[in-house]
Structure 1
Amino acid sequence: MVHQDKTVSDEGLAAAQRLKEEEELGLRRPQGPMRYTVPVIALCWSLFQLSLSSWLLLDSTYIRSIHLAFGLAIVFLSYPTLKRDVTIPGLRWLGEKHTIPWPDLIIALLAAGAALYIVLDYEGIANRVGRPNTRDLAVGIFLVLTLLEAARRVIGPALPVIAIVFTCYAFFGPYMPDFLAFKGVSLDRYISQIALTTEGIFGIPIGVSARIVFLFVLLGSMLDKAGAGKFFIDLSMSLLGRFKGGPAKAAVLASGMTGMVSGSSIANVVTTGTFTIPLMKKVGYPPKKAAAIEVAVSTNGQLMPPIMGAAAFIIAEYVNVAYIEVIKAAAVPAFASYFALFYITHLEASKLGMKGLSKVDLPQFFQVLRNGLHYLVPIFLLLYELIIPRHSPDLAAYRAILVLAVIMVFQHPIKARIWGGDMGEAWRQGFFDIVNGMIAGARNMVSVAVATAAAGIIVGVVTMGLGGLITNIIDTLSQGNIFLMLVITALASLILGMGLPTTANYIVMASLTAPALVTIAHGQGFVVPLIAAHLFVFYFGILADDTPPVGLAAYAASAIARSDPIPTGIQGFMYDIRTAVLPFMFIFNTDMLLIGIDSFPLAIYIFFMTCIGAFAFAAATQGWFLIRLRWYELLLLLGVAAIMFRPGFFAHYVGIDNHYLSYLVGLALYLGVMALQELRGGNTPHSA
């Protein structure tokens, strides 16, 4: 049994939990009968989504419309207009958090109705494409406004502001300077495309959210309610806790497992960090570094195949490739980045002279595995469905949810039978776990549904004819230099990501910059696959979660560790530099994305050498290998990283015919630095 360190105050844990609840559940906690309103709607939403994967057949436009209606209703019922309390008589409802005021009830009903309008008058709207009547315009305008307000309430002002800027640009383009001039659109065309077709609000992003993402979020929530989160943590501690810096290594493993299905950096931090941060402090990590390690691993959890938060499915739709191809492309950089983070925790432990936890402080591996083995069944089933028969992601998730539901029903009665207990209470507990998991899954989906719909406004404006103009603007800003263009794109993704959820940030940047990256690179003689451009944007959107001054994951972790959030975020970003370098590398070295690589042994070879490059880069940035690095050893390790990340460039430079042989040069150099360190005194005993 893992015990929490007593030095961590209850206030810190409570503050981190509040951040998680505000992100997932909103600020409003109604009392009395009103408290059942949102849970009932959320439960109905989950049942509707499960019906779509089993017996209910609907047109995709209907599905997207109903999906958004549920999301908007829950937002206006769960999130007050203002976060602060309002004391002005007659306006107190703007900040009401203990009941659902009538104005918000009315807005919720009207917003849901506006989202359903495209369904209610489907044939009429189809017959009036491009020629909306007055009612179409009124409902469309109301839908856009309420969606922007819902996005402001649930994810902050950044996305609505960007959407408003693009909307204004669409109307006022003809009056802009020549460099920025755009032919502009009419109100009829704007509303038709944004609110009455599947090219705006009801476009691809919310389609993926409704068809696929919901089920994976639901699976993650039900796993959490079933108790899988605690199982992952205990399993990680039992495996890695006794090694040098063991709690940090366990945090990497546990957050990697939870991050696969969570898709939320803050949820990862609170779920695993509550246990791992105190233990990291116990074995000697300073509070700032303990929190920063948890931030880095929780943020990177969204990189991990097969789920990658919600973005893997949207990438597949945008790039028009099979989902399994996205997973294949993402595998090498994601796992190399994660193994490098394991290595960083070891380097930090070595610098601080740490030891692992004693055996008595750790759970027993086989006992933990025996007690929680059933939690792995739905995960293995999901992986089997996705990889072997290659069923659709929604079908795979649906079947995994069904198996998990059976497990949740029977796990408590079986334990009651073995250990003794009230069987009636055990059956009720299983039933309530399922219901609560379905409610939590729907509430966790609110931000994704609203974000994908609001991002659809931006996508819709871009498809009106702005795409070519944006390419020209980016080309002008970068002066035709692809390296400068990559830097501009990365910085824009980081800045946008400070105010946007990862999924929304990816959708916006993918719409604006991914096609431009491919086009401009082609003009300079570089071949950048579209999936590489999309993954580049995705990586930097994720890194924004721990980028100061806004990185919310850092605030949650620092609350638990009792450290300053800004230095914690900076330290977390320093750990994640290895992740920031990889996208620049795979743009020019598509072997890292296994594009055109069909040989399994060759894929393993590339993966191994990429890991060596990531280890070398991590050691260089930490200033430590076996012992502290000297300046020439640091330069040599950076050289190893450069060779491993860009073997083709090195092969061309030195005249090697087969660029795969370059990896062997890098490996020899890596081993040479290791030998130098051994000779200087690095051969003292140290733990793995």
Structure 2
Amino acid sequence: MADKEETKYLTEEEQQELIEKYDPEAGTRKLTGILGYIAFFGLLAFSLFQLYTAVFGVFTAQIQRTVHLGFALSLIFLLFPGNRKKKQKGKFQITWYDGILAVLSIGVGAYWPLFFEDLVMSVGRLTTLDFAVGLIAILLVLEATRRAVGLPIMIIAIIFVLYGIFGEYMPGFLSHRGLSLDRLVQTMFFTTEGILGTPLAVSSTFIFLFLLFGSFLIRTGVGQYFNDLSIAIAGRSIGGPAKVAIFSSALQGTISGSSVANVVTSGAFTIPMMKKLGYKKEFAGAVEASASTGGQLMPPIMGAAAFLMVEFIGNGITYWDIAKAAAIPAILYFAGIWIMTHFEAKRLGLRGLTKEEMPSRKEVFGKIYLLIPILAIVLLLMSNITVTHAALYSILISIVVGFINKAARMKFIDIIYALVDGARTALAVAAATAAAGIIVGIVTKTGLGLKLANGLIELSGGYLIPTLMLTMVAALILGMGSPTTANYVITSTIAAPAMILLGVPDLPAHLFVFYFGIIADITPPVALAAFAAAGVSGGEPIRTGIESSKLAIAAFIIPYIFVLSPELLMIDTTWTEVIWVVFTAMVGMIAIGAGVIGYWMRGMHWLERIIAVIVGLLLIYPESISDITGIIMFVVLLTLQYVWKRNNTSKPKMSAQA
């Protein structure tokens, strides 16, 4: 019988405190009075501006992006404290310098719209005012990034800026002529190669609208419905609550761009259920952390970096191409977690939920219409309409569904709050993409990308596997405390080119760094999602991170497989081949899951576990010889397990007769 502490459910206030502790993007002030109204209507105006340009067409690149940046920076300085300790002491109102920074941000956002013709005609010649505004814009972006995203990405951006200025003093192949301060400012703010570059362009169009879509989905009541649906489908199975957590978190990833937020909101419900059933604290937290982190890998709506990938790869690739390619790896990722929790439940002898603990399936499936917006966006993304229009239509469909839902019927005020919440969520993404633009601008101007790619190849001896391993390590390190968007921009700029030079197609190379940037959230020593899960479960954080990494083993294996064999991404394959690839890979995940947990139909010897993992790898790798070898070995292992089970269950009967 579990004690009271173990089965305690977090209150909404405790959940928010935990999210703010591990997720810098959530640590906003609670403004009151006139400041509260200014922030509220500022966020509302931000959303309305984005919707206006989505409906009637975006402005010229510089105007669209600077207005987007101006909104984001000014609101960040109002809502995000410069010192989080002061916020924790209850000092929620802004300081005098926050007000100055917010006003300067408005000026930066208005500069291109006000002086567009003069700036275009100047052909790169900066006036004193131009230089001052550009320099202020750089400094504001760095400070806003520190507040809304965290210190690591700001430090990385500063390092790149210093590299751009002092390049002539760098050793060996890293050396370059160096950029003057005037040239740096011009590149960063007066071209579309720096702050106003591709990352911010995507933030000011696609990403904002999909974050808005997620905000409207929450208002329809679909978040709670995901939990109810997950229980109805998986609750009665062996170790049911763990499988509920996996299913629910995969769905929650559709409406949450944050691993930490997903862990806390979903985990506050699922982790106590798992502990009550008999799972250890660390394992319960790890299930939720690994599943919640994988939400960004699950189509149709993946992490914000997936939208950046469309622009970075180019060559006519669409978002649907990326979502389709990521489908099988995502299925294998969640299947791996599901299989391992199943074997762990069998090893511990855990039950599923009782009928009394289950919600009414009739009521749950009676609300299946709440999934219409998600189905709609899948169909829209598959069609020939633009990503922008797909997001717009999905928002409208969400509103209609919200009006239909009797339990949480959407009102006009809910639409207003959804617009405000969506804009609030977009602030950190805008800051991260602006900072990423600084990094991309330096890389472009100095030629650093090609230099590092060649250096990486030289360091790995020109071999692909060592190059992949070095790239993985770089992505995991950069992902420690940094958002996926910034991580992806950096690694796709300086590491993905190395893989491409070695013959890897663009899409597998970019998905490779995308995967490891995301999985950094559960990889020790800085595993924010795992630490947040430990905060809910009461488990030890590092052990929770280690358990999370074990459960997410597919994410450490599959990227290597699809780089070596792009068939796993459904590239140049037939449907027959796809079905076979999925079948063999799923069987392979069963073997790997058994090997990692150490239990199948019985406890497994360490040699059996090693063999099982090898068998799984052979089956996941989509080649005929490896598939045939893997299937034969899998059948042998399965037969041995079955024979043992049959002999073991027959022994008690024999002794009883005796």
Structure 2 length-normalised TM: 0.93
SS in 2 for 1:99: coil
Say whether residues 1:291 and 2:272 are aligned partners: no
Tell me, yes or no, if the aligned pair for 2:534 and 2:544 is still in contact at 8 Å: yes
Distance 1:477 1:291, change over 3 A: same
SS in 1 for 2:330: helix
Could you tell me which amino acid in structure 2 is paired with residue 546 of structure 1? I
Higher deviation after alignment, 33-42 or 156-165: 33-42
RMSD over aligned Cα atoms: 2.2
Could you tell me which amino acid in structure 2 is paired with residue 38 of structure 1? A
Say whether residues 1:668 and 2:644 are aligned partners: no
Other-structure match for 1:38 = 39
| Equivalent position to 2:601, from 581, 605, 626 | 626
Higher deviation after alignment, 186-195 or 507-516: 186-195
Other-structure match for 1:310 = 304
Q: Distance in 2 between matches of 1:682 and 1:635?
A: 24
Distance 1:397 1:513, change over 3 A: same
Unaligned runs of 5+ in 1: 87-93, 417-425, 522-526, 649-658
Other-structure match for 1:332 = 328
Other-structure match for 1:363 = 359
SS in 1 for 2:516: helix
How is 1:387-536 mapped onto 2 (pairs within 5 angstroms)?
Answer: 387=382, 389-412=383-406, 430-464=411-445, 465-519=447-501, 521=502, 527-536=503-512
Report how far residue 475 of structure 1 moved.
2.5
Q: Distance in 2 between matches of 1:302 and 1:24?
A: 16
Structure 1 length-normalised TM: 0.89
Could you tell me which amino acid in structure 1 is paired with residue 55 of structure 2? S
Say whether residues 1:152 and 2:146 are aligned partners: yes
Report how far residue 14 of structure 1 moved.
4.3
Q: Distance in 2 between matches of 1:462 and 1:668?
A: 50
Unaligned runs of 5+ in 2: 650-658
Please give the per-residue CA displacement for 1:25-80, whole angstroms capped at 9, x wherever unaligned.
Answer: 43311232322222211111111212222235422332211111111111100111
SS in 2 for 1:132: coil
Report how far residue 543 of structure 1 moved.
0.8
Say whether residues 1:248 and 2:230 are aligned partners: no
Other-structure match for 1:420 = none
Tell me, yes or no, if the aligned pair for 2:372 and 2:401 is still in contact at 8 Å: no
Report how far residue 482 of structure 1 moved.
2.4
Other-structure match for 2:381 = 386
Other-structure match for 1:639 = 614
Other-structure match for 1:544 = 520
Report how far residue 19 of structure 1 moved.
3.3
Other-structure match for 2:61 = 60
Could you tell me which amino acid in structure 2 is paired with residue 406 of structure 1? V
Other-structure match for 2:71 = 70
Other-structure match for 1:90 = none
Say whether residues 1:568 and 2:544 are aligned partners: yes
Higher deviation after alignment, 346-355 or 321-330: 321-330
Distance 1:169 1:6, change over 3 A: closer
Please give the per-residue CA displacement for 1:369-401, whole angstroms capped at 9, x wherever unaligned.
Answer: 21x3232111111111111x2322211111010
Other-structure match for 1:89 = none
Higher deviation after alignment, 130-139 or 5-14: 5-14
| Equivalent position to 1:609, from 568, 578, 584 | 584
Could you tell me which amino acid in structure 2 is paired with residue 610 of structure 1? A
SS in 1 for 2:353: coil
Say whether residues 1:350 and 2:350 are aligned partners: no
Q: Distance in 1 between matches of 2:293 and 2:642?
A: 34
Say whether residues 1:222 and 2:216 are aligned partners: yes
Tell me, yes or no, if the aligned pair for 1:617 and 1:638 is still in contact at 8 Å: yes
Please give the per-residue CA displacement for 1:159-196, whole angstroms capped at 9, x wherever unaligned.
Answer: 11111111111111112223431222222321121111
Higher deviation after alignment, 229-238 or 430-439: 430-439
Higher deviation after alignment, 237-246 or 108-117: 108-117
Please give the per-residue CA displacement for 1:554-573, whole angstroms capped at 9, x wherever unaligned.
Answer: 22211221112222112111
Q: Distance in 1 between matches of 2:465 and 2:26?
A: 41
SS in 2 for 1:131: coil
Other-structure match for 1:373 = 368
Q: Distance in 2 between matches of 1:11 and 1:254?
A: 18
Distance 1:294 1:489, change over 3 A: same
Other-structure match for 1:581 = 557
Q: Distance in 1 between matches of 2:629 and 2:124?
A: 62
Could you tell me which amino acid in structure 2 is paired with residue 594 of structure 1? M
Higher deviation after alignment, 323-332 or 448-457: 323-332
Please give the per-residue CA displacement for 1:523-547, whole angstroms capped at 9, x wherever unaligned.
Answer: xxxx311111111101111111112
Q: Distance in 1 between matches of 2:199 and 2:321?
A: 19
Tell me, yes or no, if the aligned pair for 2:71 and 2:109 is still in contact at 8 Å: no
Tell me, yes or no, if the aligned pair for 2:126 and 2:186 is still in contact at 8 Å: yes
Q: Distance in 1 between matches of 2:600 and 2:484?
A: 33
Q: Distance in 2 between matches of 1:318 and 1:274?
A: 37
Tell me, yes or no, if the aligned pair for 1:494 and 1:543 is still in contact at 8 Å: yes
Tell me, yes or no, if the aligned pair for 2:220 and 2:399 is still in contact at 8 Å: no
Tell me, yes or no, if the aligned pair for 1:201 and 1:453 is still in contact at 8 Å: yes
Distance 1:183 1:445, change over 3 A: same
Tell me, yes or no, if the aligned pair for 1:229 and 1:271 is still in contact at 8 Å: no
Q: Distance in 1 between matches of 2:340 and 2:106?
A: 48
Tell me, yes or no, if the aligned pair for 1:592 and 1:610 is still in contact at 8 Å: no
Q: Distance in 1 between matches of 2:4 and 2:67?
A: 46
Report how far residue 356 of structure 1 moved.
0.5
Q: Distance in 2 between matches of 1:430 and 1:264?
A: 26
SS in 1 for 2:321: helix
Tell me, yes or no, if the aligned pair for 2:300 and 2:378 is still in contact at 8 Å: yes
Other-structure match for 1:268 = 262
Tell me, yes or no, if the aligned pair for 2:594 and 2:612 is still in contact at 8 Å: yes
Q: Distance in 1 between matches of 2:472 and 2:128?
A: 43
Please give the per-residue CA displacement for 1:213-234, whole angstroms capped at 9, x wherever unaligned.
Answer: 1111111122112211110001
Higher deviation after alignment, 112-121 or 556-565: 112-121
Report how far residue 102 of structure 1 moved.
3.1
Could you tell me which amino acid in structure 2 is paired with residue 282 of structure 1? K
